[in-house]
């Protein structure tokens, strides 16, 4: 049987990883500035993370959501404290798309309405509702296009106002910082106005923090830089440091009804062991301080050549936007400099390294870029 051939692959086979390093099957070491697409938060094979997962699998790996699981409670308590959302509740699932799907469903249940406002250049995942609110027609099948979604330009509050005035809007969904769309940071005043507009009109504000959350920008959630408090927050990626886990933080104004949301695998013991370990490490190891320090260093020191249009981002979510396509540069960084990087569109190199990236790693990248 062949694999369903939907991914463009680099000819590299990682077999081992530790901290911010990856080794391939030829024994070549790479610096990981991609984190497997913003997933590796506390570093590859962190000792506390490994010990928690090993200890858990020796006890019980899986049962179901029809019995008590104290690990879910422990995660909720710790996450509430770390994120400053103690008064919200937590629904656990398995991925970013699923978290957004659940958030949209919850908003629609709550308001009884069915239209959603999303933003140009957004990415929210590939399941039906999540891809319908993603501004990329090429990944929407005719089946997905049945949802009622309107796209507004980012930072255009009057466009959002006009849509909300029609009276049928259940939710606005927006990323803390747009990732796949090219590291676009919403304006603070826009986010404040959006929060107010949603509140005044009974529209649910959903913050997709799947990529920008879990400390990636140097605050636990990117929206905490703007000083807003959304109704629903979605998470995944960095939450499990590689173990598939997602979650939804839900404001106390939503009433839980038995059976309204559910999943077989969400909140399982191994996922909980992984997520609790990540939360413990982020809480104790000054990870967010590191993100701010190393992130600022990169933003200020990556050499800005003539080919570079702009370097922007927050913490360790950084985009280097070129005036030219970057496919060859990225290949060169990987195969000649042995540095993994990400991409957004044709012209942007995107950095999403483990949050424990050191200043030495950052200096190494700056030197490699200076030689380009």
- What single string gives the DSSP state of each residue in 313-368? EETTEEEEEESS--HHHHHHHHHTS-EE-EEETTTEEEE---TT--HHHHHHHHHH
Residue numbers 29-68 binding ligand PLP by CB under 6 A: none
- What is the spatial distance between Cα 266 and Cα 245, in angstroms, rounded to a whole number? 7
Nearer to ligand PLP, 212 or 369 (CB): 212
356 within 8 A of 20, measured Cβ to Cβ: yes
Residue numbers 227-256 binding ligand PLP by CB under 6 A: 236
CB of 371 to ligand PLP, least distance (A): 30
Write phi, then psi, for 121 (nearest 5 degrees).
Answer: 70, 10
Nearer to ligand PLP, 308 or 314 (CB): 314
Q: Binding residue for ligand PLP (CB under 6 A) from 52, 211, 241, 251? A: 211
Nearer to ligand PLP, 43 or 240 (CB): 240
Q: Binding residue for ligand PLP (CB under 6 A) from 101, 175, 195, 321? A: 175
Q: Binding residue for ligand PLP (CB under 6 A) from 96, 238, 266, 353? A: 96
Here's the x/- map for ligand PLP, 103-132, by CB under 6 A: it reads as --------------------xxx-------
Residue for token digits 């891809």? Answer: 131
Q: What is the CA radius of gyration of the chain?
A: 20
**Inter-axis angle of helices 269-284 and 70-83, nearest 10:** 30
- What is the spatial distance between Cα 33 and Cα 357, in angstroms, rounded to a whole number? 8
Nearer to ligand PLP, 175 or 321 (CB): 175
CB of 271 to ligand PLP, least distance (A): 13
Residues in touch with ligand PLP (CB under 6 A): 95-97, 100, 123-125, 175, 179-180, 208, 210-211, 236
């Amino acid at each position: 049987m062949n694999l369903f051939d939907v991914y463009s692959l680099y000819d590299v086979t990682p077999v081992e990883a530790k901290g911010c390093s990856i080794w391939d099957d030829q024994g070549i070491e790479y610096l990981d500035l991609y984190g497997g697409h913003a997933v590796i938060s506390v570093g590859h094979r962190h000792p506390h993370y490994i010990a928690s997962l090993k200890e858990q699998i020796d006890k019980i790996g899986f049962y179901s959501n029809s019995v008590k699981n104290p690990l879910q409670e422990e995660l909720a308590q710790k996450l509430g404290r770390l994120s400053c959302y103690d008064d919200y509740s937590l629904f656990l699932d398995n991925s970013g798309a699923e978290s957004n799907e659940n958030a949209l469903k919850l908003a629609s249940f709550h308001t009884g309405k069915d239209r959603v406002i999303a933003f140009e250049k957004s990415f929210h995942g590939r399941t039906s509702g999540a891809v319908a609110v993603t501004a990329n027609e090429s990944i929407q099948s005719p089946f997905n296009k049945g949802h009622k979604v309107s796209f507004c330009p980012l930072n255009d509050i009057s466009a959002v106002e006009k849509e909300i005035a029609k009276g049928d809007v259940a939710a606005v969904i927006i990323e803390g910082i747009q990732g796949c769309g090219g590291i676009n940071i919403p304006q603070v005043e826009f986010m404040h106005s959006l929060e107010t507009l949603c509140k005044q009109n009974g529209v649910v504000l959903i913050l997709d923090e799947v990529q920008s959350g879990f400390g990636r920008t140097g605050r636990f959630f990117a929206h905490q830089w703007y000083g807003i408090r959304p109704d629903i927050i979605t998470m995944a990626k960095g939450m499990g440091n590689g173990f598939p886990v997602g979650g939804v933080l839900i404001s106390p104004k939503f009433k839980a009804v038995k059976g309204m949301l559910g999943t077989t695998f969400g909140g399982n013991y191994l996922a909980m062991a992984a997520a609790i370990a990540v939360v413990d490490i982020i809480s104790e190891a000054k990870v967010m301080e590191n993100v701010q320090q190393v992130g600022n260093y990169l933003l200020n020191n990556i050499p800005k050549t003539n080919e570079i249009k702009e370097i922007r981002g927050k913490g360790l979510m950084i985009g280097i936007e070129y005036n030219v396509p970057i496919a060859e540069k990225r290949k060169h960084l990987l195969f000649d400099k042995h540095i993994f990087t990400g991409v957004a569109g044709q012209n942007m190199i995107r950095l999403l390294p483990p949050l424990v990236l050191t200043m030495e790693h950052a200096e190494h990248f700056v030197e490699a870029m200076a030689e380009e």
